[in-house]
């Protein structure tokens, strides 16, 4: 399964106020100072607050299957990204999670349309490649990256 998530966060970002009034499909919210319960004893508290939103999910494990949805997401929600920046979100990224059922390496490329759309908002990206062991359920598969 492939999936793509949008992550936004900031040290001074009021995530609770933002998620009350957003058209984005929010999967999870995290707050400054939190430590995930499953984290180890040496884990530092989060330095920022933010959220993870759904972009796409696909039964096929290829990046190209997620790219069209990501470009559509970026084009449709331009006002939201500007609003996020004004409200203190200083980190935004797309996380492309690609599942791999084979042990041979696969090449994943990013088309210029996606890079161009992301660059308008100084957005980064992450590629997470996982070997499939068990099915992930939506709303449980994503842990946002730490700064």
DSSP per position, the chain: -EEEEEEEEETT--HHHHHHT-SS-EEEEE-TT---TTS-TTPPPPSSEEEEEEEEEESS--THHHHHHHHHHHHHTHHHHHHHHHTT--EEEEEEEEEE-SSS-------HHHHHHHHTTT-EEEEEEEE-SSPPPTTTS--PPP-
12 pLDDT more than 90: yes
54 domain residue, yes or no: yes
Query: Where in the sequence is the domain holding 76, given as residue range(s)?
Result: 2-35+44-131
- Is 137 inside a domain boundary? no
Residue 96 lies in a domain: yes
Q: How far apart are alpha carbons 96 and 118 in whole angstroms? A: 13
Give tens-digit pLDDT for 111-139: 888 888 888 888 998 887 766 554 444 44
**Can you give the pTM of this predicted structure?**
0.79
Tell me whether residue 18 is in a domain: yes
The answer to which of 78-82, 106-110, 122-126, 139-143 has the lowest mean pLDDT is: 139-143
Task: Output the pLDDT for position 124.
Answer: 92
Q: Per the domain annotation, does 144 fall within a domain?
A: no
Q: Give pLDDT tens digits for 16-73.
A: 999 999 999 999 999 999 887 777 777 888 899 999 999 987 665 566 768 888 989 9
Whether the predicted pLDDT of 92 surpasses 90: yes
Q: Is residue 141 part of a domain?
A: no
Q: Is residue 147 part of a domain?
A: no
Q: Do the domain assignments include residue 82?
A: yes
- Number of domains within the chain: 1
What does the block give as tokens for 106? Answer: 């696969």
């Amino acid at each position: 399964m492939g999936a793509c998530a949008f992550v936004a966060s900031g040290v001074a970002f009021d995530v609770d106020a933002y998620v009350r009034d957003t058209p984005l499909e929010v999967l999870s919210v995290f707050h400054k100072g939190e430590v995930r319960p499953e984290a180890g004893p040496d884990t530092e508290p989060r330095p920022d607050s933010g959220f993870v939103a759904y972009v796409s999910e696909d039964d096929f494990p290829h990046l190209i299957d997620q790219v069209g949805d990501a470009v559509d997401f970026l084009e449709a929600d331009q006002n939201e990204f500007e609003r996020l920046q004004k409200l203190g979100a200083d980190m935004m990224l797309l996380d492309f999670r690609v599942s791999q059922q084979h042990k041979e390496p696969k090449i994943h490329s990013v088309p210029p349309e996606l890079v161009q759309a992301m660059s308008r908002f100084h957005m980064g990206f992450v590629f997470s490649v996982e070997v499939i062991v068990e099915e992930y359920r939506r709303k449980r598969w994503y842990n946002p990256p730490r700064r």
